[in-house]
Structure 1
Amino acid sequence: MTSTARPASRAVTGAASHAASRIKFPRTSRRAAALAGGLRTVGKPALNAWSYAPGLSRLSGIMDRTADHLALPTGTSVATVQLGPCDAEWIRAARTRDDGAVLYLHGGAFIVCSLASHRRLVAATSRVTRQPVLNVNFRMLPEVTLEGMLGDCLAGYRWLLDEGYPAERISVVGDSAGGFLAFALALALRDEGLPRPASITGMSPLLDLDTERKAASPHRDKCDVFSVRSCRALQRLIAQVDADHEIDGDRVSPIDADLRGLPPVLIQMGSREILRPDAEEMVDRLAAASVPTTLQIWTGQVHVFQAAASWVPEAAAAMREVGRFVRSNLPAAQGSSRTARDSSARAARSAAGG
């Protein structure tokens, strides 16, 4: 069993070769195969059952209560932050710096998961990026529409700005549905004339609410987690919530948006995921918009396999790739942003005191 996954191939898109690259990583461990088998046996049937009875999503509370008792790596600190209508957690792994911060948006199909379910993955993100991470506990369906969730994510971004982190030192990371929100956030910031973040990382991101591309995917029956049926159930649920909140008009997913002006992007995807065609199309569209983009395809890995970084070697390797990407897109440090902010505050107090 090999402990480190190395890229097997690297290819660059033709039309905008300067902007996008594709890298494929091999599967090297039996643990990855065991994880895929377990999800295919248990997780996928459970999601299919949910598609018949969406009320089963309430059972996610059991998962959250269990996750709440999982130990975090030694030296990790967690503090609660209030963001108006929702809360968040400010998570620091050991030996983090203050030269930047990460805004983390968790997955869960917009209906499940929580701060607790993603706390270990967020702590791992803090460790590999060597930065503190704000994990936003945004409200979910059916309480709010996607616009309500996006508003909570914007509140998290503004909190980081208010804390003294300049936009060019804020990185946005999201997994699955959180990846959808990460791109939606960056687009909203651009459209509102607010400063853009340093980068966007999507771990198995959901990029298209429509299921047409997924239904035509060669991976539709190979995916270890999702089926076309479960994807259609989510699409119907979002439409129903929109109708309940009297939202009119067609939704524009990130894949269909004007992508110009976005910061550098990293997308990581398992090779058999039903979401893979969306990711490949998104990379082409980002390249056409001259957005520097890397797509990493991890052979045989499951949806958001990075969450298994403490157990699966390829997941640990993928997290290291995330850390390198985030740090490589920060401007050259001139001292930490927090140090600069504190120095300015001290100077202001000194001036005020005469």
Structure 2
Amino acid sequence: MSLLLVGLVGGFLATVYARQAFVAPGPLPQEKAVFIPRGSGIDQIAETLERNNVISDRLLFVGAVHVLGRSNDLKWGEYLFPRNVSTAEALAIIIEGRSIEYRLTIPEGLTSEQIVGRLRDNEVLTGEIARVPREGSLLPETYRFTRGTTRQQMIDQMTQHQTRLLQQIWNRRAQDLPIRSAEELVILASIVEKETGRADERARVAGVFINRLNRRMRLQSDPTIVYGVVGGRGTLGRPISRADINQLTPFNTYQIDGLPPTPIANPGRAAMEAVANPARHRDLYFVADGTGGHAFAETLEQHNRNVAQWREIERNRASPEAVRDRTSADILPAAPAVPAARTTPAGRPTR
């Protein structure tokens, strides 16, 4: 009887101690992020928490998991534990799966190669990307992910979002567009995306290109020159030269009729919506106006006046040497087969 009594008392005291220790403030001096790898068992999780000073007694953690019957509810992930978190609170965080979320914003107008580069530079993502996705197949937006997400998973997610959104936009497009497929919509949207970063101009710029396609005029868009020269690298690193304008590439819309064979970037939702339902007007030309936007024109005569105004703005901004050396595509060719609708990188907001 004495031994039984001692045992009961000892068990009661041990239970009281364990309960108090379970909810007591822990040893963590300040909040800390701890990553629990996929596939970790109870013992591995407890060891990780103790090693990172989140809890002081791994046996207490393991015992509580078994007593509460939550051994199948523990989730892997990266968790942020607050200062002096108790063992009970730490266990609740892991059971609820409150993993740290990261955000990655992919700006509109990046090429697939540039997007892959950003994913490879991200130190939270893991794994390799099998191949650079085809141009225009990724949707630029802000993506949320947790530590342990692979780079290929991010690519797959961007592809799925683009496929789903493109089908929705294609289904509600204007029916009289000179565009034969959803792929052609993305091609033109990528040009619109590179031509203007202003939300209030996208539909109007899209309308200019639609008008030119309807009249079988060449698009003569500067960004297509750049893509034809550098491809997926995206930027030329210098002003467009006369040689660039005259260089025949599959993408140079100064030299080819109609649309390029593929998109020249990954357009965002707004650019695709603009092409699907462009502004209705008679404009055939546009040029930078010095304010970050563009001056539009219906006639070549009006456009040339706008170009002259832009050149004057350039002269006032730059040194005489810079103006003399710059051979932008805003300068009309001496004898163009088709009048040009174009702008310059200097006239667009920096992305």
Query: TM-score with structure 1 length normalisation?
Result: 0.20
Structure number with the bigger relative contact order (C-alpha 8 A, sep ≥ 6) is 1
Normalized per residue, the structure richer in strand is 1
Larger Rg computed on CA atoms: 2
Query: TM-score with structure 2 length normalisation?
Result: 0.20
